[in-house]
Structure 1
């Protein structure tokens, strides 16, 4: 009992000593740097890399939910996943409503630093004609000396393929609907000078072995058909190919030789922001794939020399519209923006 009492007394003394020591010390505060010069650049300056990039996304005909949100004949939509995909990489979105008058679309294109053609199903008619028109404007602006990038996804890939080849029958049928897939890299150089340059070697390896790329298409183009079409083979370099459910190989990623134009048959936006289809990969590696694609594209947009009026940008941002929850009606999208 005496030893326990002595131990308690010793511990109490130690505690009192430490408490006294602590309270006798001055509390250390961060050094006051208020009088030191600030070396951060002014936010009003315009660096070579533009820090306020805006991306134009062309709308697609319909409501994105097979008429269950709107059956208006003039309706068009943008899946909210594309908008979030762009925002997550540090940019904002201006919707390019495909069936607006041509002069309005031309003015909106002057406000943006890059363009996205989305996935969808409309391969003919007024929509295809508008995509061809916008695509030509993109090429013209680059020819005039502006760095003006395009990211064409799924249907966007297919329509650009038709536009470049000038062959409306260039596409072939594949069985790649609602399928997560690998990407087969054509050569090692493709990972160093293309959209894949921001991918770590480990992620490149996983892309070639794990199903991290979400496919959702029934049309595409084989490597053989692309390479034997002079217009396409002179315009695009094949980066990756992918086997469909039957083992038939199609081109899954291309990049233009002389323009900042990238086309992906797969959907980088879905991995992070779409949940309605069970095949969509949501692993950490799949998320890293999406983020790397978004960061690359916005890094290209930052090279644009366009410096639009901020007032006009604010008036046209997609924030002027409210997204609609479409997942509850069983569409392939969780949310859509409707325009009509």
Structure 2
């Protein structure tokens, strides 16, 4: 009897080890992810602070830090380039972040044109079985929906004013989404009950925008919020087929933006809950296996080639910013 028990124990042990090894080996991820962050047209305010340099574009450093805090590196994606530039760069990157900001979509050779190239190339990659994620924050989220709508006139978004911190009103089926299926219960509880999401927008996407362009089959709404005048807008969304995600609020600001007048929530709970979004996105990017040719090429493209400037001390809403492609003194000033 003892021998039988010992034999069974040995069999169970080896089966368990084999099963565990098989499960572990099946999960292969790219743990050296590099994510592109799209730049945008230089803001008028920041241009007045750096008139001699006449920079063409910038990225708020909070987005870069947010990506890095989740375990990935950043490559800046410049605006005003050819489709070939974006196609070649996306072959080296593992995902792209469309950041928030204050530029217009009708400007040529800027944020929106670059975003359209990236969006179309990413769809082509995913259709070919090459898993390539995109995440849009605030303006970036609006751009995703407008690109899906065909980027026509008038733009498929509405005027909407929200400068408040608020909770999320989750949809009944939000747990069926890729973004929230594995979200920890305590994170969901914080997001659903406390004023921890930072809103700062003058436009938004509402259900009618999705209906008007037949987007309800392709895009899954997972939460809503209300603007300062009671308008219900879509707060989080994802594509049903592609790994494309968007949030109208700003998860990066809780940890990395500090302007006193903005009253961003910096509590432990607020930071914990908002960290979830970039952690989720970077984990999605780990499913992509694009690489640069070598470490030297990585270094050539990396954000580390640029110096973040302390713009908060100049009155900017962004504590730090990266600037790109200076073109000398603007003669119009």
**Fold-level similarity (TM above 0.5):** yes
Report what 1:312 is aligned to. Answer: 297
Q: Distance in 2 between matches of 1:285 and 1:217?
A: 23
Shift of 1:106: 2.7
CA RMSD, 1 decimal: 2.1
Q: 1:265 aligns with which of 248, 253, 270?
A: 248
1:318 is displaced (CA, Å) by 0.3
Decide which moves more: 298-307 or 201-210: 201-210
Alpha-carbon distance in structure 1 between the residues aligned to 2:171 and 2:238: 12
* Aligned with 2:307 (options 310, 322, 329): 322
- Report the Cα offset of residue 205 of structure 1: 2.1
TM-superposed deviation, 1:73 = 5.7
Distance (whole Å) between structure 2 residues aligned to residue 87 and residue 191 of structure 1: 27
Evaluate the alpha carbon distance shift between residue 83 and residue 241 of structure 1 in structure 2; reply closer, same or farther with a 3 A threshold: same
Does 1:179 pair with 2:175? Answer: no
Query: Per-residue CA shift, 1:214-258, capped at 9, x if unaligned?
Result: 11101012123323431x212211011101111110011100000
Larger Rg: 1
Contact 2:160–2:204 at 8 Å: present in 1 too? yes
- Separation in structure 1 between the aligned mates of residue 293 and residue 44 of structure 2, nearest angstrom: 32
Structure 2 unmatched ranges of 5 or more: 1-24, 326-333
Give the TM-score normalised by the residue count of structure 2: 0.83
Matches within 5 A, 1:1-340: 48-63=28-43, 65-71=45-51, 75-122=56-103, 123-125=105-107, 126-127=109-110, 128-166=112-150, 167-168=152-153, 169-176=155-162, 178-187=163-172, 189-230=173-214, 232-276=215-259, 277-310=261-294, 311-340=296-325
Distance 1:101 1:70 in 2: 27
* Structure 1 unmatched runs, 5+: 1-44
1:74, CA displacement in angstroms?
5.3
* 134-143 or 306-315, larger mean C-alpha shift: 306-315
Comparing 116-125 and 307-316, the one that deviates more: 307-316
Aligned partners of 2:45 and 2:62: how far apart in 1? 14
